[in-house]
Amino acid sequence: MTTTGNNVSRDRNPPDDTGTDLSHRQIVAIIIGLMTGMLLAALDQTIVATALPTIVGEFHRSDMLSWLVTAYLLTSTISAPLYGKASDLYGRKTVLQLSITIFLIGSTLCGLAQSMYQLVGFRALQGLGAGGLISLAFAVIGDIVAPRERGRYQGYFSGVFGASSILGPLVGGFLVDHGSWRWVFFVNLPVGLAALVVINRTLRLPFRRRRAAIDWAGAILLVTGLSAILLATQSGGKDFAWLSWQIAALIAAGVVLIVSFALRERVAPEAILPPRLFSNSIYTVSALLSLVTGTFMFGAIIFLPQYLQIVHGASATVSGLRMLPLLAGILLTSIGSGRLISATGHYKRFVVAGTVGVTIGLFLLSRVSADTGALELGLWMFVTGLGLGFLLQNVLLAVQNSVDPRDMGAATSSVTFLRTMGGAIGASALGAVLTAQLATNIALRIPGAQPGNAAANRFVSTPHDVAGLAAPIREAVRTAYADSLGRVFLVAVPIGIAAFVISLFLREAELRGSTAISRTDTSDGAVGDDRTDSSHGSGPGAKRSTASASRE
């Protein structure tokens, strides 16, 4: 439907103080739909982990095991910036519905796959949809909720994102134990369809259509460049040695292609990642901070469930439950800091505090051993979660508060993309540290198991296989794993310190009291600088007719 001037739909409730004509109830309904979709996308990064042994056993293709994870991660990561730009050009609702549809089709095909090749291909399709679910959810929040009021809602997204890493193995293990690995994918269908219905019924955003098209040349350069780098990080230390010519060639090709993409963006009429974003110091610092945050968030925390299962002998379900202190910390500070930001208008102090909290948490986790008690480990995870809760959404808040509304999708999706990219790099790099350290520690404790030989490698196995070892060897492996994991967390501490240093350069701008929607509707697309506040768009000549705007 079309809107003219300041008219609103007759079925709207009275507006609240969010800066839009949406009521609090309508915003909550939209957020529920967005969180549902984002939970599915984030959950599928980890839910398949516990099903991998069963899947590999059914298809007898253990050589392709890593590709079930890599295919999803690759397509979900590289598609995020493209979705962001497409939503800026063609509207959030249309592109978001498309991404959910692709995700559901991919999930259905994954559940019906009859070979490992089919499953890997369908996982790639599923990831292609997931890239839009995560990035566009944050962009829509930037559209409908003013930065000053966003703290009332953003904590829930932090909780969903944090919960996915914990619930994934738990839900996956339950479905495999009590049903079939195919339900790991089929479970997405009813939840995803519900999210699609909610978004279709509730999401009504004013959108001014523009005569523009996606820069496909830039898109090809970006996709191929990122694919090369991600393939290098996923294959390094597994399929090929880190110093092999194959990994060197992939990294070199990735760097050349991304540099070419950057040069292309300087002349493209509709750049996927507009160069003007980098003239904004808040965006630049936040983007770098997201990359570093992803490195230690995904790269270090992902090993905790393995520790609980291998060292303490916990099942996948129990290990997920024992990760709850991490989630509790994330929820406490994400919701608490959001409300404090809404009240005070300041966000930098919370971002800095988050980097300090995570660094302290990583240092505490570096002391982990085979004898670490559940209470002690839970406290360390809780401290780490407190830091992550301060960081996850407040960095996005800073970005969305400082960019032009026309770049909201590109800016938001690129920041979330960099966090995932950092996670892929961190998981691979810290995983290589864990593997090397584990081989060394096993060799020290088990006679004849020298690093790199078959005797050492056969002990680096799944939790089930470790539990079946003879008691003396089992204890040696568990002690070796705990000591090795402590070294991984210690290596991650300098990354936390680097994040703290970067956060000090984050410039704090006054939080606006209006949304991207209201600023787009009441101005001629003028770019607000980092000091834009709630008075933006006021004054003579600032308002204009929105007859050309359409509700999606």
- DSSP-derived secondary structure for 38-95: HHHHHHTTTTTGGGHHHHHHHHT-GGGHHHHHHHHHHHHHHHHHHHHHHHHHH-HHHH
Residue with the bigger pLDDT between 410 and 349: it is: 349
Residue written as tokens 């559209």? 143
| 414, 287 contact by CB (below 8 A) | yes
Amino acid residing at 411: A
Least confident of 98-102, 219-223, 268-272, 487-491: 268-272
Q: At what angle do helices 471-504 and 281-301 cross, to 10 degrees?
A: 170
Q: What percent of the chain has pLDDT over 90?
A: 18
| 502, 388 contact by CB (below 8 A) | no
pLDDT at 516: 52
Matching CATH number, 22-205, of 3.40.710.10, 1.10.1200.10, 3.40.50.1820, 1.20.1250.20:
1.20.1250.20
Helical spans, DSSP H, in 468-512: 471-504
| Chain mean pLDDT for the chain | 77
Residue range 404-421: mean pLDDT, rounded:
80
pLDDT at 89: 78
Same fold flag, 22-205 and 278-510: yes
| 518, 537 contact by CB (below 8 A) | yes
Q: CA 228, CA 65: separation in Å to the nearest integer?
A: 19
Does the pLDDT at position 183 exceed 60? yes
Q: CA 84, CA 70: separation in Å to the nearest integer?
A: 22
Q: CA 367, CA 326: separation in Å to the nearest integer?
A: 17
Residue range 126-147: mean pLDDT, rounded:
80
Q: At what angle do helices 116-144 and 374-402 cross, to 10 degrees?
A: 60
**Other Cβ atoms closer than 10 A to 343:** 10
pLDDT at 530: 35
Q: CA 260, CA 265: separation in Å to the nearest integer?
A: 9
Q: Compute φ and ψ for 469, nearest 5 degrees.
A: -75, 160
pLDDT at 53: 67
Amino acid residing at 205: L
Residue with the bigger pLDDT between 65 and 514: it is: 65
Most confident by average pLDDT, 189-198, 298-307, 448-457: 189-198
pLDDT at 368: 92
Q: CA 215, CA 410: separation in Å to the nearest integer?
A: 13
Q: At what angle do helices 348-365 and 374-402 cross, to 10 degrees?
A: 150
Summarised one tens digit per residue, pLDDT across range 316-371 is 677 777 888 988 888 888 888 878 887 888 889 999 999 999 999 999 999 999 88
| 86, 131 contact by CB (below 8 A) | no
User: What are the extents of the domains in the chain?
Assistant: 22-205, 215-269, 278-510
Which of these, 87, 112, 111, 110, lies nearest to 99 by C-alpha position? Answer: 87
pLDDT at 361: 94
* 278-510 placed in CATH 1.20.1250.20: yes
Most confident by average pLDDT, 130-144, 295-309, 374-388, 511-525: 374-388
